Chains A and B, each alone.
Chain A
């Protein structure tokens, strides 16, 4: 029996595997790439939003609009937060959870994002760390991380608080290195630092 047919079969299998792998890898790599590109465009839209005071669309046909910019200065991490926390919007950036207080207003404002792209930096935050939140009307507010919870999303809800101190709840899926959709969520709480640490000039 000659080796020809076997070699051909092996080559075919090899080429097939390469192609399948390429498609799978490209599809997977596309998600973080989109998340990255989305944030670039959103950063530009955010700058425009701040300048004009009106929500600017990051690209002409976008159905998302930036609502705030969240950063963790110590980590050098930042993300433009969108006004919607729908699955589509969250592909581009973390989103404000409807039903909670608007970002930068009194009460608890919740932001949800992906553990494996925009909000990956949550894993590195510890109580006492600082966060900055910039909103179009409210300037930059500073928050201090107070605590974190791991909750079951089938049971747990963001508490409704529309007054009182300004608080943030940042949520992603849990665990951080997980690779499956599960019901568990990581929620990080932060509270506004009442008196600015640097005295106003």
Chain B
């Protein structure tokens, strides 16, 4: 419809035609899909990148590949008090083998969670983790492993993905792991929400993907003539599918909710729940029954509108006061439209968006486009592993342009890889015409692995542009979405369900169209010195919460939070003496400090020496507050070496030795169904662990080193020669019947060979 699109379409078609020629390479290059290497009967192994739910992975004879252990059950207990949530995740596994094995348990957590506790019951032993520098923890763990001791190690892989390695699990032993963390909550658009990730969305790891993109005459559409699409998608093993029917992962959730105000509405858009209300302002929420862990758990609640707009909690630790301030942006009169805007929509149409996600996106995008005013300008960028633009430059939001855009949006389909970087780079480059306010609205599920690169790009290119993210789908990568909006000085919203599109997009428009409170500054009382996080304070959009963490030797008096709302000054007075004591505040401060140091570390301006300094600060903070981070891990080692089952001395006494503060009930909860079993093929792949480790046996296994193509090639050539011979012979006019029969028999024979 525009020259630009046509050119792009032509370029796309050429690239894709080339790519199509290499289609077999795609299949073989995709992990586990090489047709000659992986017979259908072979067990499907997982890599850590395939992990989508919390589960124990057993090492196999192939490096980096794991067999998921049968997960018996998961239980999540959460206490929510005001703005602080503390959760304990307890999971039971069994070692299904006759061997001593090492397992790796990988689990997703909310991205701002402060993990501080690891407890395990392995067979008949209980151990509790200690926080150590990552390398040191690893060494302690490896040493214990070599000595045949039971040991556990919790490491952070990404801010929202953790792994727990467990060494020396005995044959048939039951393992119960308990991980505790806390997170802070804040209301958004008048309602509160807690999200417990039960699924890690599969990430796009740029592996060979073929697609053909075709642009339609009426705008742009993406169609897919590749018939074997599901064979060449980035392969993500569905844990529930392997081995067949045995990988169900039932979850029980119990939440004790005390929000600090009367609860007016309470709902879970993701799961069926039962609610008991023991008193006013308090609720106990449980899942209506054990549910499979195939989507994130979401709970939302709201007050009647009279609930407080601010909260202040404090905790003292090591002679330092820690505070957590939560404030929602006030609604000040009628929202006045801001300056004319130039809006660049960036729409993810990669494979991970297919299905309901793209429907949500289409609807959301259409609403957003129709909402533009005639004085605004806009453009649309779509991307998978290519990107295309609607127009060369932003066009006025005239009725014709909007109608054309809507037609194009309705034709969007999702497929292919996710190369966000070029699209985002394009969207962030370029200056608006005139006095327009430039806003980039990014609709995606964020299923990518190169978050750091993206965030660095936003830092570098943002300028006066503001970036808003719209998270789509049942398991968006919320770490990336919220960090991108924070770095982009915008805001983010989630759409979890088609029925929510209108409501969530309206919330986004309110933020975008009303002036934000800018130039926020917290003035501390005279004589008080304290660290204020985040620094600088972000712009505050309508309905968005502001969460500030403070730390200092003594924090008292009245602080003043001030800023500009459009051209109008805005101010809030905060009597800091009135803070309520709340356990966990110090750890939440530390988590925020680590997050802000990590963010600094990513900014392009930081030199190597600066990175080392930041790393030291991150390390000190994590060790000081006992948190798992990129640089610190929790490690637990059993004091006595393991021994063969049955020769134990005091297994019956163990319950009496339950450490203080442990909830025995939590370790003994009922499993809703019988333990699933692994099939034989999977069992054979698990690498046994030598507890009496010989030096040579402890190391890395030797991978298979042969493609075995020669025999197949020879056989193929032989078949061709035989076939050719048959053809030639049968074409001879004077061929005699007996000869023909003889040759046919030969052919049949070699066909069987």
Task: Spot the interface stretch: A42-50, A125-133, A139-147, A170-178.
Answer: A170-178
Choose one: A17, A27, A63; the contact of B720 (CB below 8 Å). Answer: A17
Contact yes or no, B727 A11, CB < 8 A: yes
Contact yes or no, B723 A158, CB < 8 A: no
Q: Is B572 an interface position by the 8 A CB rule?
A: no
Q: Is A124 an interface position by the 8 A CB rule?
A: no
Choose one: A6, A18, A60, A112; the contact of B703 (CB below 8 Å). Answer: A112
- Cβ-Cβ contact count across A and B, 8 Å cutoff: 239
Q: Mask for B725-743, Cβ within 8 A of A = 1, else 0?
A: 1110111000101001101
| In the complex with contacts A10-B730, A30-B24, A173-B706, A88-B712 CB distance below 8 A | no
The residue of chain B having its C-beta at the shortest distance from the C-beta of A97 within the complex is B700
Choose one: A6, A21, A35, A154; the contact of B719 (CB below 8 Å). Answer: A21
In the complex the two chains form, what is the Cα distance from A30 to B724 in whole Å? 22
Q: Is A197 an interface position by the 8 A CB rule?
A: no
CB distance from B654 to the nearest CB of A (A): 33
Q: Is A86 an interface position by the 8 A CB rule?
A: yes
CB distance from B18 to the nearest CB of A (A): 12
Q: Is A103 an interface position by the 8 A CB rule?
A: no
Q: Mask for A80-120, Cβ within 8 A of B = 1, else 0?
A: 00001111101110010111100000000010111111010
| A7, A14, A29, A155: residue with the most chain B Cβ atoms closer than 10 Å | A14
Contact yes or no, A88 B34, CB < 8 A: yes
Chain A residues closer than 8 Å to B730, beta-carbon distance: 6-7, 10-11, 14
CB distance from B605 to the nearest CB of A (A): 19
Contact yes or no, B30 A88, CB < 8 A: yes
Q: Of residues 689 to 732 in B, which have CB atoms within 8 Å of A's CB atoms?
A: 695-713, 715-727, 729-731
Q: Mask for B387-422, Cβ within 8 A of A = 1, else 0?
A: 000000000000000000000000000000100000
CB distance from A116 to the nearest CB of B (A): 5
Q: Mask for B351-390, Cβ within 8 A of A = 1, else 0?
A: 0000000000000000000000000000000000100000
Contact yes or no, A3 B713, CB < 8 A: no
Q: Of residues 312 to 335 in B, which have CB atoms within 8 Å of A's CB atoms?
A: none
In the complex the two chains form, what is the Cα distance from A24 to B731 in whole Å? 25
In the complex the two chains form, what is the Cα distance from A120 to B102 in whole Å? 34
In the complex the two chains form, what is the Cα distance from A187 to B24 in whole Å? 32
Chain B residues closer than 8 Å to A115, beta-carbon distance: 705-706
Contact yes or no, A157 B735, CB < 8 A: no
Choose one: B31, B65, B723, B740; the contact of A18 (CB below 8 Å). Answer: B723
Chain B residues closer than 8 Å to A112, beta-carbon distance: 702-703, 705
Contact yes or no, A173 B63, CB < 8 A: no
In the complex the two chains form, what is the Cα distance from A14 to B724 in whole Å? 6
Chain A residues closer than 8 Å to B36, beta-carbon distance: 27-28, 31
CB distance from B512 to the nearest CB of A (A): 34
Chain A residues closer than 8 Å to B725, beta-carbon distance: 14
Contact yes or no, B740 A6, CB < 8 A: yes
Chain B residues closer than 8 Å to A157, beta-carbon distance: 696-702
Q: Of residues 42 to 65 in A, which have CB atoms within 8 Å of B's CB atoms?
A: 57, 60-63
Contact yes or no, A87 B700, CB < 8 A: no
In the complex the two chains form, what is the Cα distance from A20 to B29 in whole Å? 23
Contact yes or no, B703 A90, CB < 8 A: yes
Choose one: A10, A84, A87; the contact of B740 (CB below 8 Å). Answer: A10
Contact yes or no, A156 B726, CB < 8 A: no
Choose one: B696, B700, B717; the contact of A21 (CB below 8 Å). Answer: B717
Chain A residues closer than 8 Å to B63, beta-carbon distance: 85-86, 97-99
Q: How would you classify the secondary structure of chain A's contact residues: helix, strand, loop or mixed? A: mixed
Contact yes or no, A10 B64, CB < 8 A: no
Q: Is B532 an interface position by the 8 A CB rule?
A: no
In the complex the two chains form, what is the Cα distance from A150 to B24 in whole Å? 34
Contact yes or no, B731 A17, CB < 8 A: no
Contact yes or no, A18 B720, CB < 8 A: yes
Q: Mask for A5-37, Cβ within 8 A of B = 1, else 0?
A: 011011101111111111111111111101100
Task: Spot the interface stretch: B81-89, B189-197, B201-209, B586-594.
Answer: B201-209
Q: Mask for B574-587, Cβ within 8 A of A = 1, else 0?
A: 00000000000000
Choose one: B37, B417, B723; the contact of A87 (CB below 8 Å). Answer: B37
| In the complex with contacts A9-B744, A13-B726, A114-B707, A28-B713 CB distance below 8 A | yes
Chain A residues closer than 8 Å to B706, beta-carbon distance: 114-116, 172-173, 178, 181
In the complex the two chains form, what is the Cα distance from A98 to B104 in whole Å? 15
| In the complex with contacts A61-B209, A86-B31, A86-B63, A156-B715 CB distance below 8 A | no
Q: Mask for B3-37, Cβ within 8 A of A = 1, else 0?
A: 00000000000000000000011001111101111
Chain B residues closer than 8 Å to A21, beta-carbon distance: 715-723
Chain B residues closer than 8 Å to A171, beta-carbon distance: 702-703, 705
Q: Is B62 an interface position by the 8 A CB rule?
A: yes
Contact yes or no, B700 A110, CB < 8 A: yes
The residue of chain B having its C-beta at the shortest distance from the C-beta of A180 within the complex is B708
Choose one: B34, B697, B721, B744; the contact of A91 (CB below 8 Å). Answer: B34
In the complex the two chains form, what is the Cα distance from A98 to B36 in whole Å? 25
| In the complex with contacts A84-B64, A97-B703, A171-B705, A61-B208 CB distance below 8 A | yes
In the complex the two chains form, what is the Cα distance from A109 to B439 in whole Å? 50
Q: Is B242 an interface position by the 8 A CB rule?
A: no
Chain A residues closer than 8 Å to B703, beta-carbon distance: 85-87, 90, 95, 97, 112, 171
Contact yes or no, A61 B385, CB < 8 A: yes
Contact yes or no, A25 B720, CB < 8 A: yes
Chain B residues closer than 8 Å to A160, beta-carbon distance: 698-700
| In the complex with contacts A14-B727, A17-B747, A61-B208, A7-B700 CB distance below 8 A | no
Contact yes or no, A32 B751, CB < 8 A: no
Q: Mask for B50-89, Cβ within 8 A of A = 1, else 0?
A: 0000000000011111000000000000000000000000
Choose one: A22, A30, A181; the contact of B704 (CB below 8 Å). Answer: A181
Q: Is A151 an interface position by the 8 A CB rule?
A: yes
Chain A residues closer than 8 Å to B30, beta-carbon distance: 88
Contact yes or no, B716 A25, CB < 8 A: yes
Contact yes or no, B735 A3, CB < 8 A: yes
The residue of chain B having its C-beta at the shortest distance from the C-beta of A98 within the complex is B63
In the complex the two chains form, what is the Cα distance from A166 to B693 in whole Å? 24
Chain A residues closer than 8 Å to B721, beta-carbon distance: 21
Contact yes or no, B702 A187, CB < 8 A: yes
Q: Is B246 an interface position by the 8 A CB rule?
A: no
Q: Is B510 an interface position by the 8 A CB rule?
A: no
The residue of chain A having its C-beta at the shortest distance from the C-beta of B732 within the complex is A7
CB distance from B685 to the nearest CB of A (A): 11
Chain B residues closer than 8 Å to A90, beta-carbon distance: 703, 705
Chain A residues closer than 8 Å to B34, beta-carbon distance: 87-88, 91
In the complex the two chains form, what is the Cα distance from A148 to B403 in whole Å? 72
Q: Is B642 an interface position by the 8 A CB rule?
A: no
Chain A residues closer than 8 Å to B32, beta-carbon distance: 87-88
| In the complex with contacts A13-B744, A63-B205, A156-B696, A34-B28 CB distance below 8 A | yes
Q: What are 6 pairs between A and B in contact, CB < 8 Å?
A: A7-B730, A14-B747, A22-B716, A25-B715, A28-B715, A28-B716
Binding site for A on B (CB under 8 A): 24-25, 28-32, 34-38, 47, 61-65, 205-209, 385, 417, 695-713, 715-727, 729-731, 735, 737, 740-741, 743-744, 747-748, 750-751
Binding site for B on A (CB under 8 A): 3, 6-7, 9-11, 13-32, 34-35, 57, 60-63, 84-88, 90-92, 95, 97-100, 110, 112-117, 119, 151, 153-160, 171-173, 178-181, 185-187
- 6 more CB-based (< 8 A) A-B contacts, given A11-B730, A86-B65: A25-B712, A88-B207, A99-B700, A116-B707, A181-B706, A185-B702
In order of increasing CB-CB distance, the 6 nearest A-B pairs are A25-B716, A21-B719, A17-B723, A14-B726, A24-B716, A21-B720
